[in-house]
Amino acid sequence: MAEKKQITMDDIRAQVHTYLNEPSNLELIEHAAAFAEKRHEHQKRKSGEPYFVHLMNVAYILAELHTGPETVAAGFLHDTIEDTGITKEELAKEFNPDIAEIVESVTKIGALKLNNMDEKEYQASNHRKIFIAMAKDIRVILVKLADRLHNMRTLQFKSEASQKRIARETLDVYAPIAHRLGISTIKNELEDLCFFYLDREEYYHVAKLVEMKKAERDESVQQMIRDISALLQEHNIEFNIFGRSKHLYSIYHKMTERNKRFDEILDLLAIRIVTKTELNCYEILGYIHANYRPIPGRLKDYIAMPKVNMYQSLHTTIIGPDGKIYEIQIRTEEMDDIAEKGIAAHWKYKEGTNYNSRREQKEMEEKLFWFRDFVAYTGESQDASASEYMETLQRDIFEANVYVMTPRGKVIDLPNGATPIDFAYRIHTDVGNQAVGAIVNETMVPLNTELHTGDVVQIKTMKGTGPSEDWLKFVKTNQAKSRIRAYLTKKETEEKQKLVPEGERMLRDELRKRGFDPEAWMDKKKLEPLLTVLSKKTTVDLFYAIAVRSLTASQVAEKLTNQKRPVSDEELEKFINRDKRRTPSKSGVYVPGIESMKISLAQCCMPVYGDKIVGFITKGEGVKVHRADCPSLKRGPKKFIDVKWEDVNDERMFDCNLIILAKSRNFLLTDVVTAISQMKAPMVQVNANMNQETLITTIKMKVQVHNAQQVDAIAANLKKVDSILEVKRDSN
């Protein structure tokens, strides 16, 4: 890390003069500088220097980025609210409302104090503030980045604990923001500084390795530059060519993340060619490929398809005459500027044009489409906890590195392993909620298919459908997760609401039966103390519990009135005969000890009377009864409940699906139908399919039966039919 030289007011003036000349702009900056110097007059930094030195440095960094005069002025003033007690209103009067607003937002980002929060929640809240401020006005984050960069440059004066904490925060939050805004100069410097403070040993290790190889590498690069220069001069193309070095943290990162040896990374020699026009870029690429051997698969055209942070360039990797490998970047001057300054280059302040901060903000949101998603997310996530919010940003926005496209060519960035559902929610919440199918590269694929860079993705939607709980198992973005959860919770609440009057009525009836006046007892004051006892949050929860029989009305009435009711003879008898004399239910199944619960037979395995069965409690659909051998029971955690068949000798019929495999032959189906009708089982549906390759016919049929023994008998009878290989119950 090179020591930065001391910045003076003259340095700032010189830097500002490279792009600002209008007297009013220069005056604004001079005024801000003089004002800040006066306000911070007696303050010193930890280094012992006057506080104003910090402000000059921040302003200088902003001027290097060619930000507008208000932003440079805000750089001088950014600590006045916090450290000199001036108010936002006073700043607005002294300068203008925009500057006051920027300074206030920068102050707010830093003003969060640790009180009752734990460290993690504190950091998350802090980060969230940064993003909310950034969503309002991008200039806030430019000032904050400049502030943080200078603080990192002077971190040696802080305690070791502070150094580590600030470096960690910078690496987790500010460097990714700089990266996402495409400001690679700031990002690279921040990363190297963080690396130095977080892991000094590794830092010096990598630095030493780089240094040792330097002379050899420089020589190769210089020779290659001479060769390529001669080649391009022949063709009369204007260009500049440089060797470039990777910053230490990126080398370290590649070594650890991609598990590469130091040699493999440093053996890549890097050259950059900057030219005039886009056409020149492709011409140069053509000449280079015609003269050197390119490594297949390494050509990247970021001109035709810019990265999400607006980066544009051609990348190729070739093998030099010396057998060494060279990474070559080719781009125009403008692209080069954007590669270094990112967003700041794109909205470089130009005097004489009508500057409008709202328009700039809006333009930026359109240009950086991830930013628009993120602004939308910031808006709708007010209820999410700060750490959840942070996690979403970290995963969905900072770590995104799969780039897929809509059929219209819009690029969507997603984290590794993302699926069409993640994509759908990125497009719009409704698209996610109503997704029913996905087409990737013109092929229909399952919704949990992993997407890859370059995939063209289209989502089929259907109105009136909703997300499935299963999606939560495979989606990767927190955005999708939180929206699916929000939808499910809303639906559950709605279903709950529907059942509440039912529970209320049941309790009312029970009280009346016990001789209490429901109006007097179902009073809020009487019900509320009961909630804690029964561990329910609200009366809605209580009535819902009664409606779905997780509490009985009788239990609740007893607790409420604090009186046990003597058991009547009738009830006693009913209890003794509880398994015998039940009123038959539609499903033919009951839950021992609980009367009239919503029970239905599962469609996947279609249990029939006599089958071994288990029940489990579903959300909103009461108890589902499955065959004990149903494969679906093994999927995911389930709340099992004991269920029994009702012993009733009625002529109840159950649907049963059978699958029959047979060698194909003439009259097969006729014989099968005959065998079934011999067993007196009505056939409801039949469907036969012959596989032309194996000549096996699969017959699927739905028959109606009284019980499991009858199913066994049907199967035995079918097996007697010539050429039938297998008969089994269907379950999927």
Q: Which residues have a catalytic role annotated?
A: 82-83
User: Which region among 75-83, 330-338, 414-422, 631-639 touches Mn ion (by CB under 5 A)?
Assistant: 75-83
Q: Which is nearer to Mn ion, 79 or 396 (CB)?
A: 79
- Residue 54: CB minimum distance to Mn ion, A: 6
User: Which region among 147-155, 174-182, 389-397, 562-570 touches Mn ion (by CB under 5 A)?
Assistant: 147-155
Distance, first Cα to last Cα, the chain = 63
Q: Which is nearer to Mn ion, 145 or 335 (CB)?
A: 145
- Residue 265: CB minimum distance to Mn ion, A: 36
- Residue 90: CB minimum distance to Mn ion, A: 19
**Can you tell me which of 147, 189, 191, 510 binds Mn ion, judged by CB under 5 A?**
147
Report the distance separating Cα 654 and Cα 650, nearest Å: 12
Interacting residues with Mn ion between 366 and 395 (CB under 5 A): none
Q: Which is nearer to Mn ion, 147 or 510 (CB)?
A: 147
Long-range own/partner contacts, residues 104-111 (CB < 8 A, 24 or more apart): 105/133, 105/136, 105/137, 105/140, 106/74, 106/78, 106/133, 106/140, 106/143, 106/144, 106/147, 107/78, 107/79, 107/81, 107/82, 108/133, 109/133, 109/140, 109/144, 110/82, 111/82
Interacting residues with Mn ion between 263 and 302 (CB under 5 A): none
- Residue 84: CB minimum distance to Mn ion, A: 12
Give the contacts of 92 (CB within 8 A, at least 6 positions apart): 99, 100, 101
- Residue 389: CB minimum distance to Mn ion, A: 25
Q: Tokens representing 75?
A: 């750089």
Report whether 621 contacts 598 (CB < 8 A).
yes
Residue 671 interacting with Mn ion (CB under 5 A): no
Q: Number of residues in contact with Mn ion, rule: CB under 5 A?
A: 2
Q: Which is nearer to Mn ion, 29 or 676 (CB)?
A: 29
Report the distance separating Cα 112 and Cα 455, nearest Å: 42
Q: Which is nearer to Mn ion, 12 or 711 (CB)?
A: 12
Pairing of strands 724-729, 654-663: antiparallel
Report the distance separating Cα 493 and Cα 486, nearest Å: 11
- Residue 497: CB minimum distance to Mn ion, A: 52
Residue-wise over 310-333: b if at least 16 C-beta within 10 A, else e?
A: bebbbebbbebeeebebbbbbbbe
Q: Tokens representing 164?
A: 């580590």
Give the contacts of 240 (CB within 8 A, at least 6 positions apart): 273, 274, 275
Q: Which is nearer to Mn ion, 51 or 292 (CB)?
A: 51
User: Which region among 77-85, 317-325, 360-368, 560-568 touches Mn ion (by CB under 5 A)?
Assistant: 77-85
User: Which region among 139-147, 397-405, 582-590, 717-725 touches Mn ion (by CB under 5 A)?
Assistant: 139-147
Report the distance separating Cα 624 and Cα 604, nearest Å: 11
Rg of the chain taking only CA atoms, in angstroms: 36
Residue-wise over 608-637: b if at least 16 C-beta within 10 A, else e?
A: bbbbebbbbbeeeebbbbbbeebebbeeee
Q: Which is nearer to Mn ion, 147 or 671 (CB)?
A: 147
3-state DSSP assignment of residue 620:
coil
Using CA atoms, how far residue 409 sits from 278, 423, 458, in Å, is: 20, 14, 11
- Residue 323: CB minimum distance to Mn ion, A: 50
Report whether 100 contacts 88 (CB < 8 A).
yes
Q: Which is nearer to Mn ion, 70 or 79 (CB)?
A: 79
Q: Which is nearer to Mn ion, 147 or 422 (CB)?
A: 147
- Residue 550: CB minimum distance to Mn ion, A: 57
Q: How far is CA 23 from the centre of its chain?
A: 48
User: Which region among 131-139, 144-152, 216-224, 479-487 touches Mn ion (by CB under 5 A)?
Assistant: 144-152
Neighbouring CB atoms inside 10 A of 565's CB total: 14
Backbone angles phi, psi at 480, to 5 degrees: -65, -45
User: Which region among 79-87, 383-391, 403-411, 676-684 touches Mn ion (by CB under 5 A)?
Assistant: 79-87
- Residue 7: CB minimum distance to Mn ion, A: 14
Backbone angles phi, psi at 137, to 5 degrees: -155, 115
**For residue 60, which of 147, 1, 173, 181 has the smallest C-alpha distance?**
147
* Closest residue to bound Mn ion by CB: 147
Contact positions toward Mn ion, by CB under 5 A?
A: 79, 147
